[in-house]
Homo-oligomer: A and B are copies of this chain.
Amino acid sequence: MIANTLHRNITFLYNFLSKHYKANPFTRHMNTSDNLLSFNRNGKLLFYLDRTYVREIFDDPTPKDLIQVSGWVKSIRSACKGTLLFIDFTDSTTILPLQIAVSNTIPNFGQVKNLTMGSSVSFIGKLSTEPTLELKLESEDSGHKFHIYNKIDNSDNYPIAKQALSVDYIRSFPHLRARTRFGSSIIHARSELINLTHKYFKNKKFTHITTPIITTMDAEGAGCQFKITPGNFFGTPTYLAVSGQLALEVLTCSVGDTYTLGPTFRAENSNTTRHLSEFWMLEVECSFAQLNDIITIAEDYIKYVAKQMMQTEWIKYLDEYNGDVIQRLSELINNEVIVVSFDECMEIIKNNYNGQTVGSINISRDDERVLIEHFGNKLIAITHFPSVNRPFYMKRTNSGKSTFSFDIIAPEVGEIVGGSERETNYQRLVKQMEEQKMNVECYKKYLDMRIFGSIPHGGFGIGIERLLMFLTGVKNIRDVIPFPRMISHAEF
């Protein structure tokens, strides 16, 4: 009789699994007997369970008979004279922890009682909304159970305490900081930003180009490249790319509007809260475009991601954490970018400041603050920078003294965008390269594009980390990248 029941159960199980497996390829087959199947005491199969994400529960918080969640314990407290345990539980798919209520009617209740923060576990129980939304583990007969994957034995060593931790403290645990709400919000926000970026440019019919990291060129001429060894591997010295722009330009002159999104590298000795040796950059190159077009696209992109990002739970949390993030982003979306020339900026600075930078060829950090204050916390596009000390590829105005270039500066973060029209005339470009003592021969194919159907084009670059700082209110660039690299520091 028992054998018959078992046989029926197994047949049923087989059919059920076969069907289910095809219906949902994302079923997680955790085939330990502990949690794949639930039989009641009479050997009746109760359920074969998929894993449910905590995010799905908050998205659709209606009661359910039996669900399984898998993740980590955030905190644990005892109630009703020790007969009930409340566990704050997360699988990091959402900011909010799910409350798990485990009753002492569950076998091995003592094991749950001894769980420590950070331990990994699966719970199978009933999703209830009475008195509040929680997963209740009450009755073994209903299939309620748990499985502990890993209990942290020496919990004093676990660095992520329950109380609020300073950003500086958690920065020293790059492998564990995403276990905090702050750390996981950043990781999710970064993922969201990269996704939105691809979505935006796909909608605008831009083509994504993967520009090379190992390169023979120096787009910025700043001499701060990392070199690659063995040096003879490629038959020519190679470096880590400081920019993908030159490769991008070449393809823009074939396939039209393009962008690239990937890592870039600077061997600068800048140990600040705004610099990294390895950072991600969005670079956009627009065909048949002039300065105004390029500024417009940069503005539209920033407003798009700001608008989308501020609606995510991650930014809502970071708004509470860092203050006024959403307020600042809302204002940005409703305001035009201020477009102002470099020369006008210098006038403003002279009239508002001690004047020591007047006549300079750059906008300093102090200058940025003066301008931001002058224009009332808006984004500012500063155009027509002087030609002196600008990269060879920038198109110059008729007088030759200034360039069709722009930077966009943002409150607090400073420069987040830099761009320009590119020189499209072969002779003028070669002249500018020679002025900067570049080896013109190395750039032959880049120059070819000025002979074979040259087009007006230009673009801009945005450091993803700077943009993230702006979008999240985070003050230190090392907090918006999973594994930061800077001078004397490369962990992992």
Interface residues of A (CB under 8 A from B): 21, 25-31, 51, 53, 55, 70-73, 91-93, 118-120, 122, 149-150, 152-153, 157-158, 174-179, 183-184, 187-188, 190-191, 194-195, 198-199, 202, 204-205, 207-217, 226-230, 233-236, 238, 240, 246-247, 250-251, 254-256, 262-263, 265, 267, 277-278, 280, 287-290, 292-293, 296-297, 299-300, 424, 445-446, 448-456, 481-483, 485, 487-492
Contact = CB atoms under 8 A, between A and B. Distances in A.
Contacts of A483: 211-212, 247
A183 B250 CA distance: 13
B25 A299 contact: yes
Contacts of A122: 288
A175 B250 contact: yes
B234 A487 contact: yes
A481 B265 CA distance: 21
A92 B55 contact: no
Given A120-B454, A174-B445, A198-B194, A187 B490 contact: no
29 contacts: A25-B300, A26-B296, A26-B300, A29-B290, A29-B293, A51-B288, A53-B256, A92-B254, A92-B255, A149-B453, A150-B424, A178-B254, A191-B208, A194-B198, A194-B208, A195-B198, A210-B280, A210-B481, A211-B482, A217-B492, A226-B228, A226-B230, A227-B229, A228-B228, A230-B267, A233-B267, A234-B487, A234-B490, A446-B492
A234 B488 contact: yes
A459 B118 CA distance: 22
For the complex formed by this chain, how many copies does it contain in all? 2
A263 B247 CA distance: 16
Nearest to A153: B451
A489 B91 contact: no
B209 A482 contact: yes
A279 to B, nearest CB: 9
A185 to B, nearest CB: 10
Given A149-B424, A213-B265, 12 more contacts: A25-B296, A29-B293, A30-B456, A149-B454, A150-B454, A178-B251, A198-B199, A211-B483, A214-B240, A227-B229, A233-B488, A234-B487
A225 to B, nearest CB: 10
Contact of A455 (B53, B149, B482): B149
A384 to B, nearest CB: 15
A367 to B, nearest CB: 28
A469 to B, nearest CB: 15
Given A194-B198, A247-B482, A492-B216, A184 B235 contact: no
Contact of A451 (B152, B240, B489): B152
Given A287-B70, A485-B212, A55 B205 contact: yes
A233 B30 CA distance: 45
Given A228-B240, A452-B152, A453-B150, A292 B254 contact: no
A255 to B, nearest CB: 4
Nearest to A445: B175
